[in-house]
Amino acid sequence: MSVVVVSLNERDAPLELFERLAIADRELPKVLASLCDSPHLSEAVVLSTCMRTEVYAVLERFHDGLEDIQSFFECRLGPSEVGAAALEERLVVAYDDEAARHLFGVAAGIDSAVLGEGEVLRQVRHAAEKARLQRASGPVLSGLFRHALEVGKRARAETGIARGTTSLSHVAVALATERSGGSLDGREILVVGTGEMGEGILEALGHVAKKSRIVVANRSLARAKALASRIGARAISMSALHQELANADILITATASDDILLDADDLSSVLALRAGRSLIAVDVAMPRDIDPAAGKLDGVTLLDVGDLSAFAENEMQTRRGEVARVVKIIDDELERYAMNAQARSVGPIVAALRSKAEAIRQSELERYQSRLGALDEDAREAVDALTRGVVAKLLHDPTVQVKKDAGSTRGERLAEALRALFDL
């Protein structure tokens, strides 16, 4: 049995490939069920964000299970100019300790476009919870993800990796501010989407755009109104989006739509109503909300997650010095996780040993039942207690020792000896 992660990161793939493999939150139940239908996978967790799509799994047969996961990615890719061969080159595979190290790094924020980002910790927790609710994860992945969350919290508490701007939503606002000449004062800002990313964008705007006019658009007008009220913004329905675009100076989109929300023709028709005013459009969604061709229109500056990554890169110099300290924490926690996992692994051996001993005890009592039949109830209970006590004392020292040495080379030898000697 192996733990494996198969991962595709935005930085390693062209956006047109990466967005095909993005998995919306509403798809997770179906995706998890599909993965767990494989006879070679016993557990699965899917982590899909605007920066990564990853499948964590417990494999009963390593190569067969790995092929099933890779086939899953290829099926999602579908007909594409990129092709399956290019996809395979970009998929990163890690297993056992290295899979744990990868997840710990993700949770700690050192595998993000924005070092130390806080959003990814919530995303890791959400992925684990979704898998638990769908009964796709079991004791192995549940334990791994719980430990990853502990690593993420410890990294942020004990190092400066989370100092400053540490979320992609805040970076989106910072980039829009920079492209607007360093200030959002007097600007009209249109935010489309009120999911986790959209909520983060509005939170950031609430701090830096107090002198701006902010409009929130969402399919659920009630949700848009609820978030808009927090920062004194105005809410609109999606049907009023094009009308509002004629007035906006900055557009930030972060929906969970599978389809393009605004194509080049949509924006072209809006530009005709703007009397030559330029539009800064920041597309934080994955898959993208805005047709990339819209970026070629005169008067439109289109920025996507690639631009956010590049912008964040320049902002991260002060936190890079903290990475070594985070890696040390990951190393420490990886060792602790491995020892705990190995300690848990002797549990089934100890249980099997005790179960076998109890079965032998019961069998022997039944064999001598005819001789014990003449005993009264108290005497039979005394014999039962006596034999239970003998078995318990015989097993005490071996079970204590194998548990004590679990996680060490000696512990592995003792566990293997118990398997061989007692045919477990």
Residue 45: the pLDDT is 98
Q: Using one digit for the tens of pLDDT, what is the confidence trace for 239-298? A: 999 999 999 999 999 998 888 999 999 899 999 888 889 999 999 998 899 999 999 999
- Answer whether residue 101 shows pLDDT above 70: yes
111: region left, alpha or beta (phi > 0 left; psi from -120 to 50 alpha) = alpha
CB atoms within 10 A of CB 368: 10
- Which is nearest to 67 in space by CA: 32, 41, 96, 43? 41
Place 80 in a pLDDT band, splitting at 50, 70 and 90: low
Of these residues, 21, 50, 141, 205, which one is catalytic?
50
Residue 315: the pLDDT is 64
Does the model's pTM come out above 0.75?
no
- Both tokens of 72, joined, read 């899953």
Place 229 in a pLDDT band, splitting at 50, 70 and 90: very high
| Long-range contacts of the stretch 13-17 (C-beta < 8 A, 24+) | 13/90, 14/82, 15/288, 15/292, 15/304, 15/305, 15/306, 16/80, 16/81, 16/82, 17/77, 17/80, 17/82, 17/86, 17/87, 17/90
The answer to whether residue 75 is catalytic is no
Beta-sheet strand order (sheet of 188-192): 234-237, 213-218, 188-192, 250-253, 279-283, 300-303
The C-alpha atoms of residue 223 and residue 172 are separated, in whole angstroms, by 21
Fold (CATH) for 2-164: Beta Polymerase; domain 2 (3.30.460)
First to last CA, the chain: 18
The C-alpha atoms of residue 154 and residue 86 are separated, in whole angstroms, by 37
- Answer whether residue 422 shows pLDDT above 90: no
Whether residue 287 is preceded by a cis peptide bond, meaning omega within 30 degrees of 0, is: yes
Element (H, E) at 92: strand 92-95
- Pairing mode, if any, of strands 234-237 and 250-253? unpaired
Place 93 in a pLDDT band, splitting at 50, 70 and 90: very high
The C-alpha atoms of residue 241 and residue 193 are separated, in whole angstroms, by 11
Domain edges within the chain: 2-164, 168-310, 346-385+409-424
At residue 114's C-alpha, the angle toward residues 113 and 118, to 5°, is 120
- Pairing mode, if any, of strands 92-95 and 2-9? antiparallel
Residues 6+ apart with CB under 8 A from 262: 253, 289, 290, 291, 294
Rounded to an integer, the average pLDDT of 119-142 is 94
Distances (CA, A) of 297 to 21, 191, 278, 302: 28, 21, 10, 9
- For 168-310, CATH gives 3.40.50.720
- Answer whether residue 81 shows pLDDT above 70: no
Q: Please state, rounded to an integer, the average pLDDT across all residues of the chain.
A: 89
User: Are both 2-164 and 168-310 of the same fold?
Assistant: no
